Amino acid sequence: MNPPELEIYVPDTAQTVSGTSAERVLASITHLGIAAHPDDLEIMAIDGILKGFSGGGNMFGGVMLTDGRGAPRAGKFSNLSDAELAALRKEEQKEAARIGSYGALVFMNLTSRDLRQDSSVVESLARVLQAARPRWVYTHSLLDAHPTHSAAAWRVIQALRSLPADMLPEQVYGCEVWRGLEWLPTRWRVAFDCSDHLELQKELLEVFKTQIESGKRYDRAILGRRAANATMNEPNAVDKARALTYAMDLTPLVRDKTLSPRAYLLEILRDFEQEALSTLPDDA
């Protein structure tokens, strides 16, 4: 498979751009979310979305690796072909970008199989990262239960590892979607306070009718998870936030090319084991 062509969409003008126009719009991105499917950005990268929405020199942009054609569907969407579903999901993603005031969307239009089995996407991701040079990158957790999500995280790490050190972002986050990260030991866990613009967050999730009306109520589940995270974050203190979302820090894997992802995850799991067992009484 050859590296996929990049489709770069600018929500502000509702146009697809290329050449110098594409380079200019990508260069404005400070917070970049790189997601496996349409609607994943709004679940996992809400910290970056809110920072971009609030302005102050921040701009959020998103990369959509696959077109989401293999998603479950029901109701009025049950008879859609894969191609028809993919086209609708792309339009939903564009609408979310307009509502959230994203600076740009990059569609790579891969299949999940392409992403999991073919590493040629790394070259295209590296091109986007070189053009944007974001300070913060959000992608999936390497511990995500969805294999396409964890594959996406690894492709992002590979792309970042291919860049010169002076082009690397300040931080790279692996965010929760198909596995919550509230269990991560404190030194591995990043908590994002997303208490602001709760109505906007709800509106962004509600855009994805192909999922919600097919029975995947992300609009309820994700807002509920964020509220639960805020309340359950600290057992011995009053709540400091109305909504929290968690991520694992992937920055060490980007900066140390010799560090194995498996070794990194095993270290996290060993820390969790020790932390979990430490709360038991001495006679247990």
Does residue 190 belong to any structural domain of this protein? Answer: yes
Look at the block and give the residue holding tokens 């964020």.
Answer: 226
Per residue in 78-122, pLDDT tens? 888 889 999 999 999 999 999 999 999 999 999 888 898 878 899
Q: What is the pLDDT of residue 210?
A: 92
Residue 78 has a pLDDT of: 84
pLDDT at position 4: 56
Instruction: Tell me if 256 is assigned to some domain.
Output: yes
Higher pLDDT, 51 or 12: 51
In this prediction, residues 182-203 reach a mean pLDDT of 96
- Tokens encoding 81: 């072909």
pLDDT band at 1 (very low <50, low <70, confident <90, very high): very low
pLDDT (0 to 100) of residue 120: 84
Please give the Cα distance from 168 to 63 (Å, whole number): 17
Q: What is the pLDDT of residues 139-185, one digit of tens each?
A: 999 999 999 999 999 999 999 999 999 999 999 999 999 999 999 99
Do the beta carbons of residue 222 and residue 43 sit within 8 Å? yes
Range of the domain at 54: 7-276
Residue whose C-alpha is closest to residue 34's, from 67, 1, 63: 63
Percent of the chain exceeding pLDDT 70 equals 98
Decide if pLDDT at 5 tops 90.
Answer: no
Tens-digit pLDDT profile for residues 20-31:
888 899 999 999
- 44 within domain boundaries: yes
Q: What is the mean pLDDT of residues 264-273?
A: 96
42 occurs within a structural domain: yes
What amino acid occupies position 177? V
Query: How many structural domains compose the chain?
Result: 1
Please state the rounded mean pLDDT for residues 208-223: 93
Q: Where are the beta strands (DSSP E) in 144-220?
A: 171-175, 189-193
Among 13-17, 128-132, 184-188, the least confident range: 13-17
Residue 1, domain member (yes or no): no
| Residue 282: inside a domain | no
| CA–CA gap between residue 174 and residue 181 (Å, rounded) | 10
CATH of the domain at 79: 3.40.50.10320
Question: For the residues 190-202, what does the mean pLDDT come to?
Answer: 97
What pTM was computed for the model? 0.94
Reported as a single tens digit per residue, the pLDDT across 14-54 is: 888 888 888 899 999 999 999 999 999 999 999 999 999 99
